[in-house]
Amino acid sequence: MSQTNIPGPIKATDPDSTVPAARRRGSATLLIGCVLAGAVVAVAIVSLFWVPFAPEDTSGGRLAPPGPPHLLGTDKLGRDLLTQLMIGARVALTAGIGSVALGGILGVAGGLLAGFATRWLDDTISALLDILIAFPTLLLAMLVVAAREASLSSAILAIGLAMSAIVARLTRVLVKRVLAQDYITASRTSGTSWPRVVAEHVLPNIWPTLLVNLALQLGLAVLAEASLSYLGLGAPPPNASWGRMLQEAQATVLTAPLGAIAPGVLLVVLVVGVNLVADGLRDVADPTRRRTR
Amino acid sequence: MNRKTTSLFGAAIALALALTACGGTGDGAGTKSTSPASSSNTDATIGIGSLYEPQNLDNTAGGGQGVTEAFNGNVYEGLFRLTDDGKVENLLAKDYKVGSDGLTYTFTLRDGVKFHSGDPLTSADVKYSIEKVTADGSQSARKSSFAVIKKIETPDDHTVTVTLSSKSISFVYNLSYIWIINDQAKNLATTEDGTGPYKLGTWKRGASLTLDRFPGYWGTAATNKQVVFHYYTDATALNNALLTNAVDVVTSEQSPDALAQFANNANYKVNNGHSTTKLLLAFNDRKAPFDKPLVRKAVTSAIDNKKLLNSIWGEYGTLIGSMVPPTDPWYEDLTKVNPYDLNLAKKQLADAGYPSGFSFTLDTPNYDPHPTAATFIKSELAKVGITVKINVITADEWYTKVYKNRDFAATMQEHVNDRDVVWYGDPEFYWGYDNPQVTAWVKQAEESDTAEAQTELLKKVNQQIAADAASDWLYLYPQIVVASSKLSGYPLNGLNSQFYAYGIKKA
Amino acid sequence: MTTYLLRRMAFLVISLLLASTVLFLLLRLLPGDPANSLLSVGASPEQIAAARHQIGSDRPLPEQFVTWLGQMATFDLGTSFISTLPVGPEIASRLVVTVPLTLLAFLLAVVVAVPVGFVAAHRSNRWYGPLLNGVSQLGIAVPVFWVGMLLIAAFALYFHILPAGGFPQDDWTNPGDALTSLVLPVVTIALVMSASLIRYVRSATVDVLDSDYLRTFRALGSSFTMAMWRHGLRNAAVPVVSILGIELATTFLGAVVVESVFALPGLGSMLAKAIAQHDYPIVQGVLFVSTFGVLVIGFIADLVQRLIDPRLRGTLSRSAR
């Protein structure tokens, strides 16, 4: 479509006038982001070894209010809310990281291919990518889930596939930009092979931007998984997922508000954290990007 | 997804008998229900909230549970009516006689009945309507209950004679499911031509369906001017609609979560009716280890159904201990046959040759309450050494894998209809319970001459399947209708998904 | 411009063709025969075969594909497996909800985001600049369905001032009622959408504020307002317009979730139900119409962008270049 169609956040830079200022602000942002996202990661890791109650333990009674032994109360089936939230953190991170790994690998490979391809192949791949991007992540994911089954791996596959088109398009643009530089032409004329060009010039030049974008995609993937779960297309019950916890708590939003609030707050904390990490990384790794464009 | 499978069984056939009380005269407003309000507005519009939108408006072309709810008795009428408390009354049939052989039924039609299009009701319409259900392309799940029909004759405009190939005490009961449709009607998937107290107003797909009082109705006119069925896709949205007065009544609550908000509020009335929906842990009785009754009994005794019911429905719902709900004439309390008793379960397992337990896969539909119940069962059975692997499947997979291919060890499913204990007489049914004695009893019951004989036989069936633990009947769902306290005259039991709206009054 | 228009339209048509092929293949990969959904317990093998024949799932794939392409070309979207009704009119009846929902939410988001984004950039040194920035940071991280849930809880269930969901059965006959039922869904979408828009507007403004030409103009004596008005706006609008195109498309399709939260009879809720029922014609139809909409929005965004940015004239869209 157009020049600025590169997935958005790359444009959202801070209006810092000097490189050192951007770096300073970048590290502050990075720090806050790391604390927020790190807290969720820590909870997820702890949940691997210890949770207050067994996830299937329904002995707490319906919608017990917060207080010992159930610090945050129980859900409508008598399961401990804190336990569910902790396991939900694991599920959210698994979904996010899994999708980004899949989408990143496929997308970068596809983008490199298009970037180096002949004009005809490049045009075809680009047109296909445009069409794939025209289906938003969620719709594509719904189709994949319908084709397989509602499960965490389906959700990861679906979100990863949808993401790969976006990553591929970005990679292609970045690769083209690097390849247009004079020194590449020079190094090609002097007989450097394409794989060496990729390894020595292309990848080192594009990875900072890619990394920043993948971090932002991680946040989007976490949100997408939550939406799928909310629609009943994520991991089936009784597995915990913040999205489904919210869906289930919807019926009791006035009588037991904590269940309808806590998973949402955690989602926001994780996604804000990840986004801040991405913003911070961009400013630290590539503070001059905006000016060189 | 929930609704899809529910309608699967909602449409399933209940082979059953007609009660002897056949001579009653339907007077057009016979639904037994809450007491009428002293003053009511006959020009009122009643908003009904439901989760079951019709797929289309033709019940022989896959219209589903939704069209039964909206149209049965409201837009279309049968020769007989099944009232909300399970009685069969005459409706479009003024009278009928059964020949001495028990095979020939002669129906006399009511006079002065007109379709919504203005055409008068004739015997040809009745013949057409029955044949529409039994036709080759018919998707009506009731089709097979009419396989006993040998021929239908129409000696004159007011008389229909049906000859059966074998005796069927449930024939008249089954006829209450057949809509009498004008034989000239077209486009039945989107329009209607029935004789009921309402005619179809507008149907806005995905949202609502409006029924308007039919001025030319032959019987007592509806007590309200219009009813609007509002359709929701989840129970929370439905409850919110009731809480914000977007609807006046909810046909059937599917979760206990929001009930507290209504129970403590003078503006609403929570009605606890009689349900016929049973949650089953169905074993594959053909295959080891569940081919041994002792193993099935052990599993049944190892699960605390009371605790399960409480964790899903709170204080609502009933334990039954067999397939027969209290509203069926052949009900008896069989909850003591396989009591919750871990020591008994362990002993039975040892006697059956599994002293250290075994492991099996439980095919679990992916919508509530199944996954929750499966999790519960898994933790209960672990106490007696049985390992459960929960395999979550979609309704579609359930249909193919379990129902069609019988490729399962055990599964969970809701069975919604009344009088469906007779499925245990069919060795070909998905759970594969094969007891020739039970099969014979079920067959004799259908061919019996009196309701007493039929009841006697089906009680024996019931006792036998409980003794064999043919399945584990976990619990009977509650049937909860929540309505604005301004409303009266609504049906409470919603038997077989029907919801008669013509008696509803709004103060 | 005419040549460009023609080439861009050719690209649009090819995209549509490709999109419908992708759609067809994706859908045929779905397991489970839709005939299953048509039948109830007790169906005989003959009934199943009849159902398969009726919906055409017993024919070979290439044949089904040709039929499908022919249908798409004539905008005949087929007949639903489940309801046996034509898909086209049904989609049209759902657009009555989805299109106003999308446009209103979009408008509200733009009206909020453009001034806020501008202020956040222009006043980044005041206390409220970073605050606005932080709020938009929160906004892009909030799941849209959660916002909807909380708004329902507050305004419908607690204060009883707005409906919790649903849409009038007589559509827009009574515009007041229809609008009332759209207030919460529109606000839900607009809140989340304006958060990301603010970031784009802000960064576009920052680019302009930093630009050499703006400095030149101001050095030459133009007032800031004047310089911004005559040159800045146009330059800032270029990236924003193309983002708007994408955001509009996202809103249109993102309505899936919001319609589910608010029980609105729109395209999104129709699609979710059809996927669950394996009702291919409806899924195909909705996705085809949505893709068509998204591609057309992209097309319009490209045209508008060229009209306001002379530098782009002479190039086709980036991807088709």
Q: What is the pLDDT of residues B276-294, one digit of tens each?
A: 889 999 999 999 899 999 9
Is it the case that residue A30 has pLDDT exceeding 60?
Answer: yes
> Which of the other chains make 3 or more beta carbon contacts under 8 angstroms with chain C?
A, B
Confidence category of residue A132, pLDDT binned at 50, 70, 90? confident
Q: Provide the edge-to-edge strand list for the sheet that holds B472-476.
A: B387-393, B359-365, B410-415, B278-283, B472-476
Confidence category of residue B388, pLDDT binned at 50, 70, 90? very high
pLDDT at A287: 53
Q: Does B139 touch chain C (CB under 8 A)?
A: yes
Give dist(CA C64, CA C52) in Å, integer.
13
CA distance A271 to chain C (A): 5
Do residues C293 and C12 lie in contact, with contact meaning Cβ atoms separated by under 8 Å?
A: no
Give dist(CA C179, CA C167) in Å, integer.
9
The pLDDT tens digits for B296-306 are: 999 999 999 99
Do residues A17 and A264 lie in contact, with contact meaning Cβ atoms separated by under 8 Å?
A: no
Do residues A95 and A221 lie in contact, with contact meaning Cβ atoms separated by under 8 Å?
A: yes
**Count of CB atoms situated within 10 Å of the CB of B51:** 22
Residues of A in contact with C214 (CB under 8 A): none
Residues of A in contact with C140 (CB under 8 A): 219, 271, 275
- What secondary structure does DSSP assign to C94-137, as a single string? HHHHHHHHHHHHHHHHHHHHHHHHHHHHHTTTSTHHHHHHHHHH
Amino acid at C30: L
CA distance B238 to chain C (A): 9
Q: Do A139 and C271 touch (CB under 8 A)?
A: yes
Q: Does B257 touch chain C (CB under 8 A)?
A: no
* Six-digit token string for A221: 């993937």
Is it the case that residue B1 has pLDDT exceeding 70?
Answer: no
Residues 151-210 of A with CB under 8 A from B: 151
Question: Cα-Cα-Cα-Cα dihedral of C284, C288, C294, C296, to 10°?
Answer: 180
Q: Which among B189, B243, B403 has CB closest to C41?
A: B403
Nearest CA in chain A to C32: A147
Q: Does B463 touch chain C (CB under 8 A)?
A: no
Q: Indicate the SS3 state at residue C46.
A: helix
User: Who wins on pLDDT, C238 or B493?
Assistant: B493
CA distance A101 to chain C (A): 21
Do residues A280 and A28 lie in contact, with contact meaning Cβ atoms separated by under 8 Å?
A: yes
Interval B316-343 mean pLDDT? 91
Amino acid at B412: M
Q: Indicate the SS3 state at residue B199.
A: strand
Nearest CA in chain B to C40: B8
Interval B166-174 mean pLDDT? 90
The share of chain B scoring above pLDDT 70, in percent, equals 91
ipTM of the complex as predicted: 0.82
Whether the ω angle into residue B36 lies within 30 degrees of 0, i.e. cis, is no
Overall residue count recorded for chain C in this entry: 321
Is it the case that residue A133 has pLDDT exceeding 70?
Answer: yes
pLDDT at B191: 92
Residues of A in contact with B374 (CB under 8 A): 238
Interval C19-33 mean pLDDT? 69
What pairing do the DSSP bridges indicate for beta strands B387-393 and B359-365? Answer: parallel
pLDDT at C215: 72
Interval B59-83 mean pLDDT? 88
Residues 49-78 of B with CB under 8 A from C: 55-56, 58, 61-62
Amino acid at C256: V
Q: Do C245 and A1 touch (CB under 8 A)?
A: yes
Query: Scanning the structure block, which residue is given the tokens 């003959």?
Result: C46
pLDDT at C59: 74
Average pLDDT value over all residues in chain A: 80
Q: Does C259 touch chain B (CB under 8 A)?
A: no
A292: exposed, middle or buried (Cβ count in 10 Å: 0-12, 13-18, 19+): exposed
Q: Which of A12-21, B173-182, C71-80, C232-241 has the highest mean pLDDT?
A: B173-182
Give dist(CA B10, CA B65) in Å, integer.
6
The share of chain A scoring above pLDDT 70, in percent, equals 85
Residues of B in contact with A251 (CB under 8 A): 235-236, 239, 255, 257-258
pLDDT at C317: 42
Q: Does B230 touch chain C (CB under 8 A)?
A: yes
Nearest CA in chain C to A252: C153
Give dist(CA B504, CA A141) in Å, integer.
45
- Paired with A277 in beta bridges are none
Is it the case that residue A59 has pLDDT exceeding 60?
Answer: yes
pLDDT at B6: 36
Q: Which of A188-192, B438-442, C4-8 has the highest mean pLDDT?
A: B438-442
Do residues A243 and A224 lie in contact, with contact meaning Cβ atoms separated by under 8 Å?
A: no
Query: Scanning the structure block, which residue is given the tokens 């909020």?
Result: C112
Interval B7-31 mean pLDDT? 33
The pLDDT tens digits for C186-201 are: 999 998 888 888 888 8
The dihedral built from the CA positions of residue C6, C7, C9 and C13, taken in this order, carries a sign that is positive
Is it the case that residue B370 has pLDDT exceeding 70?
Answer: yes
Confidence category of residue B55, pLDDT binned at 50, 70, 90? confident
Query: Which contiguous run of DSSP H or E holds residue A110?
Result: helix A81-116
Confidence category of residue A149, pLDDT binned at 50, 70, 90? low
User: Who wins on pLDDT, B189 or B470?
Assistant: B470
- Residue from A5, A253, A267 to probe the interface with C (highest C Cβ count within 10 Å): A5
Is it the case that residue B110 has pLDDT exceeding 70?
Answer: yes
The pLDDT tens digits for A258-291 are: 989 999 999 999 999 999 998 888 777 765 544 3
- Residue from C30, C36, C41, C145 to probe the interface with B (highest B Cβ count within 10 Å): C41
Nearest CA in chain A to C205: A15
Q: Do C15 and A243 touch (CB under 8 A)?
A: no
Q: Do C318 and A2 touch (CB under 8 A)?
A: yes
Give dist(CA B161, CA B163) in Å, integer.
7
Q: Which among B164, B187, B188, B182 is positioned nearest to B174, based on CA atoms?
A: B164
Q: How far is C-alpha B85 from the geometric centre of its chain's CA atoms?
A: 13
Query: Scanning the structure block, which residue is given the tokens 């898994």?
Result: B378
Question: Cα-Cα-Cα-Cα dihedral of C253, A92, C165, C275, to 10°?
Answer: 50
Report CA-CA distances (Å) from A62 to B19, B240, B315, B410, C314. 42, 21, 11, 28, 67
Confidence category of residue A146, pLDDT binned at 50, 70, 90? low
Residues of A in contact with B394 (CB under 8 A): 149-150
pLDDT at A12: 37
Amino acid at A87: I
The share of chain C scoring above pLDDT 90, in percent, equals 7
Which residues have a Cβ under 8 Å from the Cβ of A268 and sit 6 or more positions away? C138, C141, C142
Is it the case that residue B26 has pLDDT exceeding 70?
Answer: no
Q: Does B45 touch chain C (CB under 8 A)?
A: no
The pLDDT tens digits for C242-267 are: 677 777 777 776 677 888 888 888 88
C138: exposed, middle or buried (Cβ count in 10 Å: 0-12, 13-18, 19+): middle
Confidence category of residue A190, pLDDT binned at 50, 70, 90? confident
Give dist(CA B218, CA B226) in Å, integer.
18
Interval B337-362 mean pLDDT? 94
Is it the case that residue B295 has pLDDT exceeding 90?
Answer: yes
Is it the case that residue C57 has pLDDT exceeding 70?
Answer: no
Interval C3-31 mean pLDDT? 77
Q: Which among A211, A224, A106 is positioned nearest to C250, based on CA atoms?
A: A224
The pLDDT tens digits for C116-137 are: 888 888 777 777 777 887 888 8
Q: Do C210 and A230 touch (CB under 8 A)?
A: no
Amino acid at B316: Y
> Which of the other chains make 3 or more beta carbon contacts under 8 angstroms with chain B?
A, C
Q: Do B394 and A150 touch (CB under 8 A)?
A: yes
Confidence category of residue C54, pLDDT binned at 50, 70, 90? low
Is it the case that residue B22 has pLDDT exceeding 80?
Answer: no
Amino acid at B490: Y
* Six-digit token string for B505: 């009054």
Three-class HEC string of C59-95: CCHHHHHHHHHHHHHCCCCCECCCCCCEHHHHHHHHH
Residues of A in contact with B314 (CB under 8 A): 62
Q: Which among C143, C159, C144 is positioned nearest to C262, based on CA atoms?
A: C144
Do residues B207 and B230 lie in contact, with contact meaning Cβ atoms separated by under 8 Å?
A: yes
Confidence category of residue C176, pLDDT binned at 50, 70, 90? confident
User: Who wins on pLDDT, B400 or C270?
Assistant: C270
Among A5-14, A42-51, A198-207, whose mean pLDDT is lowest?
A5-14
Confidence category of residue C312, pLDDT binned at 50, 70, 90? low
pLDDT at A240: 81
* Six-digit token string for A129: 């990518």
Among B27-41, B160-174, B346-360, whose mean pLDDT is lowest?
B27-41
Q: Does C273 touch chain B (CB under 8 A)?
A: yes
Is it the case that residue A293 has pLDDT exceeding 50?
Answer: no
Residues of A in contact with C137 (CB under 8 A): 272, 275-276
Which residues have a Cβ under 8 Å from the Cβ of B504 and sit 6 or more positions away? B46, B223, B224, B227, B249, B487, B488, B489, B490
Interval B50-77 mean pLDDT? 87
Q: Do A12 and C290 touch (CB under 8 A)?
A: no
Interval B131-159 mean pLDDT? 86
> Which DSSP symbol is given to A93?
H
Give dist(CA B102, CA C48) in Å, integer.
34
User: Who wins on pLDDT, B379 or C313?
Assistant: B379
The overall longest dimension of chain C from CA atoms, in Å, is 87
Q: Indicate the SS3 state at residue B74.
A: coil
pLDDT at A148: 66
Please count the CA atoms within 13 angstroms of the CA of B346 that sit on its side-chain side.
9
Give dist(CA C246, CA A13) in Å, integer.
19
Report CA-CA distances (Å) from B216 to B116, B199, C147. 8, 10, 50
